[in-house]
Homo-oligomer: A and B are copies of this chain.
């Protein structure tokens, strides 16, 4: 099933949508955080008729397992440029999986065609076609099952942690694409902001589950078709927390999304 199909939502009441957490978008049985945020963003953009998830803040409250979920939506404001609202995703047992505060709009209408400042370069990456795909779960150079759905190709300098060779830099860079070649829209961008291995895997820190407290994703532009360059870095791993900052570029070298998450250092 495609990403679009696996994040499909159906209206069941004025303020409620139904969806299903589908298998394959998980790491060890827990749905990926970006996938859950994308599900919420899909419901909210369809609910409001505003195509682009401009800003999506997700709090992760319980693991998302395969199965049906309900998305309850409260719209806080319908403005000229944005609709702002909350999405509560609950599972069949009534557990809250994620709570989301977001704003959607239409990037074509918000305007500001001119780029006044771009003070960064697209993430430096070897060409997509020259890198190996990380598609074989569990095997050497492979990754979790999630990577069967994705065609993520890590920067060689950042990929050694899987074999115990940490780069020493809290950084993960890679190409991001769907394995089936699906075009990446704003909802796909939300997903992409949490789809690469944690930066902390490349520094001298305990390895394990890195629980996300909060993830905020900003969609700045609809990407050109093709794989995206993504770069994630952490500057501060202090007091049991780390931030992970993401920048995503399309194949034409333009900024398409930014993200920051606050996460907990693994307990090892």
Contact = CB atoms under 8 A, between A and B. Distances in A.
Given A99-B84, A103-B59, A218-B262, A239 B110 contact: yes
A224 B9 CA distance: 48
Interface string A223-266: 00000000000111111111100000000001100101010110
A220 interface: yes
Contacts of A48: none
A96 B77 contact: yes
Given A213-B54, A236-B220, A59 B101 contact: yes
B101 A57 contact: yes
A96 to B, nearest CB: 6
A34 B91 CA distance: 35
Interface in A78-119: 79, 81-82, 84, 86, 88, 96, 99-101, 103, 107, 110-113, 115-119
A57 B103 CA distance: 12
Nearest to A206: B116
Given A76-B99, A214-B103, A220 B237 contact: no
A265 B112 contact: yes
B203 A235 contact: no
Identify whether the interface residues of A are mostly helix, strand, loop, or mixed. Answer: strand
Contacts of A262: 54-55, 218
A183 interface: no
Interface string A43-65: 00000000000110101011000
A84 B110 contact: no
A55 B213 contact: yes
Contacts of A82: 213
A216 interface: yes
Nearest to A234: B117
Given A82-B213, A255-B238, A260-B260, A119 B170 contact: yes
A116 B54 contact: no
Interface of A: 54-55, 57, 59, 61-62, 76-77, 79, 81-82, 84, 86, 88, 96, 99-101, 103, 107, 110-113, 115-120, 170, 203-205, 213-214, 216, 218, 220-221, 234-243, 254-255, 258, 260, 262, 264-265
18 contacts: A54-B213, A54-B241, A55-B262, A57-B101, A61-B77, A77-B99, A84-B99, A86-B99, A103-B213, A111-B240, A112-B265, A117-B234, A118-B235, A214-B218, A216-B216, A218-B243, A220-B241, A238-B255
